[in-house]
Amino acid sequence: MAIRERLSGNEAVAYAIRQINPDVMPAFPITPSTEIPQYVANYIANGKVDTEFIHVESEHSAMSAAIGACAAGARAVTATSSCGMALMWEELYVAASDRLPIVLALVNRALSGPININADHSDSMGARDTGWIQIYAESNQEVYDNFLQAYPIAEHEAVHLPVMICQDGFITSHGVENILLAEDDRVKEFVGEYCPAHYLLNEKEPMALGPYAVSNYYMETKRGQREAMENARQVILEVAERFEKMTGRKYGFFEEYRMEDAEYVIVIIGSAAGTCRAAVDRIREVSGKKAGLLKIRVFRPFPEKELAEALKDKKAVAVLDRSEMFSATGGPLGTEVRSALYGVKSQAEVVNYFYGLGGRDITVEDFEEVYVKLEELAQTRVVKDMYAYIGLREK
């Protein structure tokens, strides 16, 4: 029987960590992820887990310690946000290239500058090419569920890549919601024990990890990472299927809402999907226009084939990015979606907007306006405002 509880997103992650009981957690505080190591430290102090907590001097050290622990054969976890992730930058690449199944709880927060402590996706999207699997949550329930699925994905023998579980700072991390928790014994059975085939403390197999790679070997390493990322596609779905059997909650690469007959579709990531869902309902009820929503859950590996199939017959698509990339091709999500649709020769008109940067609110009315523009775009097939900012204070 599921446990009903009322938790913030940070509490939900810490609760999942307690249930999993990883071997090592190095961490350094940074808003808005600070509560996660704080809650875990309380669990440790109260004897509820035997995780080794390492007080490090920076986020760079936190990821370095996680790499060392995982390389030695331990199950490792850490948490950070924003500039903390930026300070980990070098080590993110090391963790992925060394094929270490570390799990990072990332509470999304805008990167400086200017300095800002509120939610956008510039930190995780900035790290989209580091080789980490990235999974995003809309709600506190999804944060908890995604975290439970992280280790079975990361540690799968066909994958062995680090996983980043992302949630929107303050919106879900500090917002409290009713959620359903799985029982401890079922979680432990689902996640299993970490039994690496190769690790540094195995005296029967002397080895080095992360050695200098000369030109004759570097490219093969990257090819291996790409193959692992491709393998992760099927593993993510298999783990989600097992999770559904345990909880009844179904997950995939993305979630479709009222998409069966939709003509105008918004593609989005994260907590704002709930507001967009309300806009879809209102539009259909008031005008009968066929609005739909596609919410991305897995950004790495990007599900281009599945997404293109879901969108190829739509009249117009708006891709909403919560991160600026300063690219001529749009934002990170917009670039991926447009590329996927180009690959299937889709006739759908596609526009890319930016919203919510630095935590700026987006309303139901804002989403309704996007759908109005999509209808106009479908009729005229003329893009007037590609890469526009939603909710911008104009002069």
Each residue's pLDDT tens digit, 147-188? 999 999 999 999 999 999 999 999 999 999 999 999 999 999
pLDDT tens, residue by residue, 350-371:
999 999 999 999 999 999 999 9
| pLDDT-derived band at 211, boundaries 50, 70, 90 | confident
Whether the pLDDT of residue 385 is over 90: the answer is: no
CA dist., res. 42 & res. 150, Å (int): 23
**Exposed e or buried b for every residue in 46-73, given b needs 16+ CB within 10 A?**
eeebebeebebeebbbbbbbbbbbbbbb
Cβ contacts of 224-228, under 8 Å, gap ≥ 24 = 224/99, 225/96, 225/97, 225/99, 225/131, 225/161, 228/99, 228/158, 228/159, 228/160, 228/161
Mean pLDDT of all residues belonging to the chain: 97
CA dist., res. 284 & res. 290, Å (int): 6
**Residue extent(s) of CATH 3.40.50.920 domains in the chain:** 254-389
| pLDDT-derived band at 96, boundaries 50, 70, 90 | very high
Range scoring the smallest mean pLDDT among 152-161, 257-266, 337-346: 337-346
Looking at residue 165, its pLDDT comes to: 99
Give the containing element (helix H, strand E) for 25. strand 24-27
Whether the pLDDT of residue 314 is over 80: the answer is: yes
Looking at residue 386, its pLDDT comes to: 86
Smallest Cα–Cα separation from 21: which of 155, 159, 151, 196? 151
Looking at residue 59, its pLDDT comes to: 98
Q: Are strands 254-257 and 291-296 parallel, antiparallel or unpaired?
A: antiparallel
CA dist., res. 140 & res. 138, Å (int): 7
CA dist., res. 99 & res. 263, Å (int): 42
What is the CATH T-level fold of the domain 3-247, as seen in this structure? Rossmann fold (3.40.50)
The answer to whether 117 and 169 are in contact (CB under 8 A) is yes
Number of other residues whose CB lies within 10 A of the CB of residue 395 = 3
| pLDDT-derived band at 395, boundaries 50, 70, 90 | low
Whether the pLDDT of residue 1 is over 80: the answer is: no
Structural tokens at position 58 = 């920076």
**Residue extent(s) of CATH 3.40.50.970 domains in the chain:** 3-247
CA dist., res. 13 & res. 177, Å (int): 13
Q: What is the mean pLDDT of residues 11-35?
A: 98
254-389 is classed CATH 3.40.50.920: yes
DSSP assignment letter at 57: S
**How much of the chain, in percent, has pLDDT values that exceed 90?**
95
Looking at residue 263, its pLDDT comes to: 98
